[in-house]
Amino acid sequence: MQYRQSFGSKLFDASNYFFMLVLVVIMVYPLLNIIAISLSHADFIALGQVNIFPKGFNVKGYEVIFSKQLVYISYKNTILYAAAGTFLTLFLTSLMAYPLTIGNFQLKKFITIFLAVTMFFSGGMIPTYLLIKNLGLLNTFWVMVLPGCISAYNVIIFRTFFQNLPNELRESAYMDGASDLVVLFKIYLPLSKALLATFALFTIVAHWNEWFSALIYLQDESKYPIQMFLRSIIFTQQGYGQSQQISEMIQNRQINPKNIQMAAIVITMAPILCIYPFVQKYFVKGVLVGSLKG
């Protein structure tokens, strides 16, 4: 028997398609505009004639960006921050979430309440700065990795995901003489690939976009992440420390300041745009499965 949609169902589907199309346009247009401006000639940019397609092919903005040694240092720093931060986040969150799934764990209630409190109250920026200073983390690699490594939200999601796994797996492992660490790393984590992939990407994106912590805690430019490089490029092209060579290129209309700004934005966001398609399929599965059970 062929199923026929009612008029209301068709109208609902059409409304959803229209709404999603509007969202796509809203999200994709700025991206295409940024890429187009980065590749357009200075005259067309000055006249405001660039929309989603480049006009007058021009890659001098990228040449200026890649001529700066700091961009390579910043890229390396960001990759290291993202890799170390993601590993520690997944590792420490798993270690903290696993005991909360054990019924006879005595500190289970206390830790759960403690985590819930941190979701509503924070120490504030000044106490956090003083703590990091007293720990000797200022202007170090670890100041970009350790703070915020464990979040209450992540722990709760991990705990809930682990609770959805059959208890028989842990009990049978105990009978075979396995310890809790073996159960976690040899049984639970291999079964949590969707969850790990989801939160790995969330953490990578968070570290890749991080700039405020670097602004507050880092003084050495050689430790800056890529977002601080982008920030300095944008401010430089607005008149803060503009180089003589770039000034001459602008005066000769070989390049527009927006060429450099948009080129910096493109090379900053390109790696994340390349990663998303490969792990997007884990998003819904990882988050929803981890939130089915309280």
**Percent of the chain residues topping a pLDDT of 70:** 88
Is 175 a member of any domain?
yes
pLDDT tens-digit series, residues 114-146: 888 888 887 788 889 999 999 999 999 999 999
The per-residue pLDDT for 92 is: 94
240: pLDDT confidence band, cut at 50, 70 and 90?
very low
211 phi/psi in degrees, rounded to 5: -140, -30
The residue length of the chain stands at 294
Mean pLDDT of the chain: 84
Is 207 a member of any domain?
yes
Rg (the chain; Cα; Å): 25
The per-residue pLDDT for 239 is: 40
Nearest CA to 71 among 222, 207, 217, 203?
A: 222
Question: What's the DSSP call for residue 240?
Answer: S
Is 58 a member of any domain?
no
CATH number of domain containing 102? 1.10.3720.10
Question: What's the DSSP call for residue 241?
Answer: S
pLDDT tens-digit series, residues 247-277: 777 777 778 888 888 888 999 888 888 877 7
Measured from the Cβ of residue 9, the count of other Cβ atoms closer than 10 Å reads 10
7: pLDDT confidence band, cut at 50, 70 and 90?
confident
Q: Domain of residue 213: give its range.
A: 66-225+282-289
Question: What's the DSSP call for residue 285?
Answer: H
Is 158 a member of any domain?
yes
Is 205 a member of any domain?
yes
The per-residue pLDDT for 257 is: 82
218: pLDDT confidence band, cut at 50, 70 and 90?
very high
Tell which wins on pLDDT, 172 or 235: 172
pTM of the model: 0.83
Is 270 a member of any domain?
no
Is 275 a member of any domain?
no
Is 178 a member of any domain?
yes
State the total domains in the chain: 1
